[in-house]
Amino acid sequence: MKIVQSTITILSFISIINITHAQQKTENIVIVTLDGMRWQEVFGGADATILKNKNYTKDSAGTSTAFWVSDITERRQKLFPFLWRTIATEGQLYGNRWKGSEVNNANRYKFSYPGYNEIFTGYPDTLVNSNNKIWNKNINVLEFINQQKSYKGKVVAFSTWDVFPYILNTKRSGLYVNADVDTLKFNNSALQLINDMQFLTAKPIGVRPDVLTYFAAREYMKAYQPKVLYIAFDETDDYAHGGEYDQYLKSAHAEDAMIADLWQYIQSSPIYKNKTTLIITCDHGRGDKIKDNWRHHGQKIEDAGQIWIAAIGPDTAPLGEVKTNSTLYQEQLAATFAKLLGFTFTADHPVAEPITSILKK
């Protein structure tokens, strides 16, 4: 009798495990960040005032033709067609404060390194307060996933900014991070061509253009099938700092198109199709209310801690713009990435809870 009982207990335990696994369809994750991309443009499209200001938009007529229309729904779709045609119908978007959906930095600094640290470690460490090339002491979720069975060597990152090897601490983590013009040493003709191109580009923002980061990531994905791929774009932040609103919009639009191209590949590949979750977000926001502050961010800039998140994948319900009861935080992303793959991210620092609404269909 005792034996029978424990057998039943074991059997029901196994069936619970099976049910949990059966609910989890995500086997791969693709994460994309648009550096310093404001939620105001994501949810509202081009801003009329900044667009009309000749100091910020040299070709006001041309930029307006490309991105302006009076209806806000059409306007944001002009700027971010993939977000508003595909993700809005098949995935989720968070951070439209005009509709009461808030996503914030938990870190107080509101600039890049602290933001990326928060995204990937789940911990808004107050000691992470510089953009300098400092090896990050905090364990990140990408290296945690890379240590899990069947994910070893299958977690990679491609970034435009050259600080990412430090943020993700490649020295400790062993992750493959290809940043700026890091040589693409692959026996693959597409990657060799991109490698040559990145050394010959004029580098308008001082590092390789986002489009080369994108192509390097895409061709790597096709050739080597990583299970977790992170792509970090940078141009939006650089053009905003430079006060070039037209270029800021053009980069945002181009990055949306690159993400659309990648999703098209994912959903046409038997390896990735319906087994891959895509999450798009940013490291920080920028100012809004005070004139000129759209260019800036940081501790002293009001509103710069306001961010946004978009998600699409087999475990994510097609809710479109999600109405949230409480504020979400950037620190919740690390655990969300891990949970999508069925893991609970733990480290020797506190880790914030995942965003559960992304995880259930």
Of 20-28, 142-150, 230-238, 341-349, the segment contacting Zn ion by CB under 5 A is: 230-238
One of 219, 237, 255, 331 touching Zn ion (CB under 5 A): 237
Token readout for 308 is 């946004």
Residue closer to Zn ion, measured from CB, 143 or 237: 237
The helix (H) or strand (E) run that includes residue 267 is none
By CB under 5 A, the count of residues binding Zn ion is: 2
Is there a contact between 341 and 278 (Cβ–Cβ < 8 Å)?
Answer: no
Q: How far is the CB of 297 from Zn ion (least distance, A)?
A: 6
* Token pair 């364990």: residue: 139
From the list 154-162, 193-201, 208-216, 235-243, the region that binds Zn ion by CB under 5 A is 235-243
What are the φ/ψ torsions at residue 357 (nearest 5 degrees)? -65, -20
Which residue, 261 or 288, has its beta carbon nearer to Zn ion? Answer: 288
Window of 114-122, 139-147, 166-174, 231-239 that interacts with Zn ion by CB under 5 A: 231-239
Residue 228's SS3 state is strand
355 token code pair: 């965003």
Stretch that binds Zn ion, among 118-126, 183-191, 233-241, 267-275 (CB under 5 A): 233-241
Nearer residue to Zn ion within complex by CB, 36 or 209: 36
Q: In sequence order, which residues have a C-beta less than 8 Å from that of residue 58 and are 6 or more positions away?
A: 244, 246
Shortest CB 238 distance to Zn ion, Å: 8
**DSSP classification of residue 97:** G
Where do runs of H (alpha helix) occur along 162-302?
164-167, 170-173, 189-200, 210-224, 235-241, 245-266
Closest to Zn ion by CB, 227 vs 297, is 297
Least Å distance, CB 124 to Zn ion, is 18
HSE-CB for 282 with a 13 A CA cutoff: 32
Which residues make Cβ contacts (< 8 Å) with residue 311, sequence separation at least 6? Answer: 87, 91, 92, 277, 278, 279, 280, 358
In the complex, the smallest distance separating the C-beta of residue 231 from Zn ion, rounded to whole angstroms, is 18
Cβ 112 to Zn ion shortest distance, Å: 6
Residue 289's identity, in one-letter code, is K
What is the smallest separation between the CB atom of 123 and Zn ion, expressed in angstroms?
21
| Least distance in angstroms from the C-beta of 296 to Zn ion | 8
* Residues in contact with Zn ion, shown as a per-residue x/- string from 20 to 59 under the rule CB under 5 A: ----------------x-----------------------
In the complex, which residues of this chain contact Zn ion (CB under 5 A)? 36, 237
